[in-house]
């Protein structure tokens, strides 16, 4: 990791300063959080359950109208969200779901291309209920990418998938992100997933970013000793003890 000139010269894609959010009863969830994400940077957000990961993500997505708080948020114009559930409209077939709300004469063609990219060519006319969970999540990924977002927000998008499908989805997501280069903020509770995918892993605790580490592994393999080292460090930060890990 030599100098990181991109980081210094270009303006960050996401810039969060002094972000506070709280739900009336149980005090502050985010307490003065600062965060920068560079254009094209893939950031994984980890943290124990209930630390406010979803709250942060929803703040960036502009979906937290009913939450109290203040602070500054700068995000790019084109933001896409991938939810934990695929959130396909059940009354629309696959292709109309992908191009839902998309303008332009070539919307359908772009939708077909996006579906091909996630490996679902030929399923354009299927109803959502006819797809498997993994396929539905791929459609929702296609729906996000076809909008060419500068920022992709994803809240545990693979949480409901089985281990094998997850690994496939990881490879797909990395490939797609390398091609389209959006800035990414991915919430996950899986440390391995974070290291496998991200350029940077941040950990949320007490409403602020407590840990912020770069992942500069050349080979993202579990056999890399530095992978294991990083994994142990992050688990430690999350308060998972040696005992638990056994």
Partner 1 sequence: MTATLHVSERTTDTTDRRVLRRRLGPGRRIRFSFWIGPIVLLAVWAAGSATGLIKPAILTAPWDVVTAFQEQWTDHDLLGNILSSLARAALGLGLGVLAGAVLAVVSGLSRAGESLIDGPIQIKRSVPTLALIPLFIAWFGIGQEMKIVTIALISMVPIYVHTHNGLRGIDGRYAELAETIGIGRGEFVRHVVLPGALPGFLLGMRFAVTSSLLGLVVVEQYNATSGVGHMITLAEQYGQTDVIVVGLVIYGVFGYLADTAVRLTERRALAWRRTLDT
- Given the rule CB under 8 A, which residues bind partner 1? 61-63, 79-81, 83, 85, 87, 89-92, 100-101, 127-129, 147
Closest CB to partner 1 among residues 81, 191: 81
Strand ranges inside the chain, DSSP E: 14-22, 28-37, 42-46, 68-74, 79-82, 151-155, 183-187, 200-205, 208-214
CB-nearest residue to ligand ATP: 54
Contacts of 34 (CB under 8 A, 6+ apart): 16, 17, 18, 19, 208, 209
Burial 222-232 (b: 16+ CB within 10 A, else e): eeeeebeebbe
- Grouping H, G, I as helix, E, B as strand and the rest as coil, residue 240 is coil
The contacts of residue 117 (CB under 8 Å, 6+ apart) are 142, 145, 176
**Residue 220 binds which of Mg ion, ligand ATP, partner 1, none (CB < 5-8 A, kind-dependent):** none
Interface pick for ligand ATP out of 16, 37, 44, 55 (rule CB under 6 A): 55
Minimum CB distance to ligand ATP, residue 64 (Å): 9
- How many residues touch ligand ATP under the rule CB under 6 A: the total is 12
User: Euclidean distance between the first and final Cα of the chain, in Å?
Assistant: 33
Residue 52 sits in the site that holds ligand ATP (CB under 6 A): yes
CB of 143 to ligand ATP, least distance (A): 22
The window from 32-40, 42-50, 175-183, 221-229 that contacts ligand ATP (CB under 6 A) reads 42-50
Tokens matching residue 87: 């959130």
Instruction: Please identify which residue in 13, 14, 29, 82 interacts with ligand ATP, judged by CB under 6 A.
Output: 29
83 binds ligand ATP (CB under 6 A): no
Least spacing, CB of residue 133 vs partner 1, in Å: 15
CA 105 to chain centre: 29
> What sign does the dihedral 196-219-36-76 (CA atoms) show?
negative
Residue number with CB closer to partner 1 (160 or 208):
160
**211 forms part of the interface with ligand ATP (CB under 6 A):** no
Q: Are strands 200-205 and 79-82 parallel, antiparallel or unpaired?
A: unpaired
Residues that bind ligand ATP (CB under 6 A): 23, 26, 29, 47, 49-55, 189
């Amino acid at each position: 990791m030599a100098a990181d000139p991109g980081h210094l010269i270009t303006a960050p894609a996401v810039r969060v300063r002094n972000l506070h959010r709280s739900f009336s009863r149980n005090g502050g969830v985010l307490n003065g959080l600062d965060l920068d994400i560079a254009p094209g940077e893939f950031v994984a957000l980890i943290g124990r359950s209930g630390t406010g990961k979803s709250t942060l993500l929803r703040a960036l997505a502009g979906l937290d109208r009913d939450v109290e708080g203040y602070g500054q948020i700068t995000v790019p114009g084109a933001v896409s969200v991938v939810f934990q559930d695929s959130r396909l409209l059940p009354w629309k077939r696959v292709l109309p779901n992908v191009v839902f709300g998309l303008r332009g004469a070539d919307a359908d063609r772009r939708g077909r291309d996006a579906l091909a990219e996630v490996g679902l060519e030929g399923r354009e006319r299927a109803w959502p209920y006819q797809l498997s969970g993994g396929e539905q999540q791929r459609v929702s990924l296609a729906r996000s990418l076809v909008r060419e977002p500068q920022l992709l927000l994803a809240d545990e998008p693979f949480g409901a998938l089985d281990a094998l499908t997850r690994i496939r989805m990881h490879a797909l997501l990395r490939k797609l992100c390398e091609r389209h280069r959006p800035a990414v903020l991915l919430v996950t509770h899986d440390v391995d997933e974070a290291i496998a995918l991200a350029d940077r892993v941040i950990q949320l605790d007490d409403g602020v970013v407590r840990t912020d580490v770069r992942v500069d592994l050349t080979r993202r393999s579990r056999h890399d000793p530095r992978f294991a080292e990083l994994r142990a460090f992050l688990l430690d930060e999350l308060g998972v003890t040696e005992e638990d890990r056994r």
